[in-house]
Amino acid sequence: MLPDVWTLYRRMLFSRRFEEAVHRLWDAGLISAEMHLSMGEEGIVAGVLDHLQPGDALALDHRGTAPLLMHGIDPERLLRECLGQEDGLCNGWGGHMHLFSREHLAASSGIVGASGPAAVGFALAAQHLRPGHLAVAFFGEGAVNQGMLMESFNLAVAWKLPVVFVCKDNGWAIYTPRERAISTPLIDRAAGFGLHTTSVDGRDVTAVWEAARDAQTRAREGRGPSFLHARCVHLEGHLLGDPLVRAVRQPLREIAPVFGPMLRAVTRRQGAPVRQRLGPLREVGTRGNRLVSSQRASDDDPLVWTRKQLTGESDRLSTLEAEVTAQVNDIVARVQPE
């Protein structure tokens, strides 16, 4: 059995266009507080969720937009929630990070690593109440250092729970490179708990689809939990308005206002030697350049990867893209405050 790439691309594109609209609303000041988008993760989400069945559960991290959309949440209610409107998914109280739908057995949390315990709870309920069903947990590689997530791995294996742990690894825990905070390969760490492990390129939705199919089949057949490690890139940094990304993309605009105070701090007579003070500044610049350079290549965009498979039917592709764009524009027009 092969995946329907057209359906997967439609879901990925709808999520991207939806989040692009959220981006514009956030830029216009209509969405308050932070905004973490799923741009760059769409291939992972689409490949995993394509196998879910009614009665399966979803435990999400702070990037819940794409999974919720692809899991069947009403996009209009989700957008209203981001805008803080009373008729939003959670009556305007959840924002974009703390969301819940009883109907869809889906919950998200801004607490790093919290999707692990939630998924274990969902999976335990499925094991006793809904045999043949499962739970999926999404989280970033930075969450793997959290004790509650490691405890979730342990319990899932000990109790042979039907759960799939999906690690979306972009190589950064906010601004900390993976190698500075994680001492062992993530696959090895997960295998140490007894999890069945698979590593896949998250840009390739077909590869993710195949790996997720195998992991979910194991769970449904009562053969225990799995750990799916998927590499990806966050196309907008950690969050919208990411200061490190802004500083690298627009150095004159972002750095000029703080250059004077920085220069005075470095050249003060008191304190550490000048060379030592320059170290953190160089480190910030190096990390910023590395972070932004990893986002520039279109080859890192899962939509670009998937679209290349469909260009042989250009008319069908153009029609699909126009339909998705119009659908999202209609939603925004109905929801956006006047």
Angle, to 10 degrees, between the axis of helix 205-220 and the axis of helix 5-27? 110
CA–CA separation, 65 and 71 (whole Å) = 10
Global pTM? 0.89
Sequence length of the chain is: 338
169 shares its domain with 199: yes
Distance CA 336, CA 338 (A): 6
Confidence band for 250, pLDDT divided at 50, 70 and 90: low
Check residue 272 and give its pLDDT: 73
pLDDT-derived band at 88 (thresholds 50, 70, 90) equals very high
Look at residue 260 and tell me whether its pLDDT is greater than 70: no
Q: Which residue has the tokens 């939603």?
A: 331
Check pLDDT > 70 for residue 66.
yes
The mean per-residue pLDDT over the stretch 113-119 comes to 98
What is the pLDDT confidence band of residue 27, given thresholds at 50, 70 and 90?
very high
Q: What is the mean pLDDT of residues 72-101?
A: 95
Q: Please report, for residues 56, 102, 117, the alpha-carbon distance to residue 129 in angstroms, rounded to integers and kept in the order given.
A: 12, 16, 18
Whether residues 160 and 276 share a domain: the answer is no
Q: Closest by alpha carbon to 23, among 39, 41, 43?
A: 39
Q: Are residues 316 and 193 in the same domain?
A: yes
Q: Where are the beta strands (DSSP E) in 189-241?
A: 196-201, 226-231
pLDDT of residue 331 exceeding 80, the answer is: yes
Q: What is the pLDDT of residue 262?
A: 64
244's tokens: 């490190």
What is the rounded average pLDDT for all residues in the chain?
Answer: 90
Residue 210 structure tokens:
């195949």
Residues 144, 269 share a domain: no
Domain shared by 131 and 162, yes or no: yes
Q: What is the CATH number of the domain that holds 179?
A: 3.40.50.970
Q: With 90 as the cut, is the pLDDT of residue 325 above it?
A: yes
Alpha-carbon distance values, 99 to 109, 110, 207 (Å): 7, 9, 29
Residues 33 and 77 grouped into a single domain: yes
Q: What is the count of structural domains for the chain?
A: 2
Q: For position 76, what pLDDT does the model report?
A: 97
> pLDDT at position 290, please?
62
Task: Let me know whether 45 and 102 are in one domain.
Answer: yes
- Same domain? For 49 and 24 the reply is yes
Q: Which of 213-217, 243-247, 259-263 has the highest mean pLDDT?
A: 213-217
pLDDT of residue 294: 58
With beta carbons less than 8 A apart as the criterion, state whether 116 and 137 touch.
yes
Do 74 and 105 lie in one domain? The reply is: yes
Do 136 and 14 lie in one domain? The reply is: yes
Q: Are 127 and 67 in contact (CB under 8 A)?
A: no
Q: Which domain holds residue 252?
A: 243-296
More confident residue, 32 or 287: 32
pLDDT digits (tens, 9 = 90+) for 261-308: 766 766 776 777 766 766 666 666 666 666 666 555 557 899 999 999
Asked if residue 261 and residue 211 are part of one domain, the reply reads no
Q: What is the mean pLDDT of residues 190-205?
A: 97
Judged by average pLDDT, the poorest of 82-96, 100-114, 148-162, 252-266 is 252-266
Torsion region of 162: left, alpha or beta (phi above 0 gives left; psi -120 to 50 gives alpha)? beta
- DSSP of 6-34: HHHHHHHHHHHHHHHHHHHHHHTT-S-S-
Residues 230 and 251 grouped into a single domain? no
Tokens of 113: 């690593």
- Packing angle of the helix pair 314-335, 75-82 (nearest 10 deg): 50
Looking at the DSSP bridge assignments, the partners of residue 107 are 59, 100
| Model confidence band, residue 69 (pLDDT cutoffs 50, 70, 90) | very high
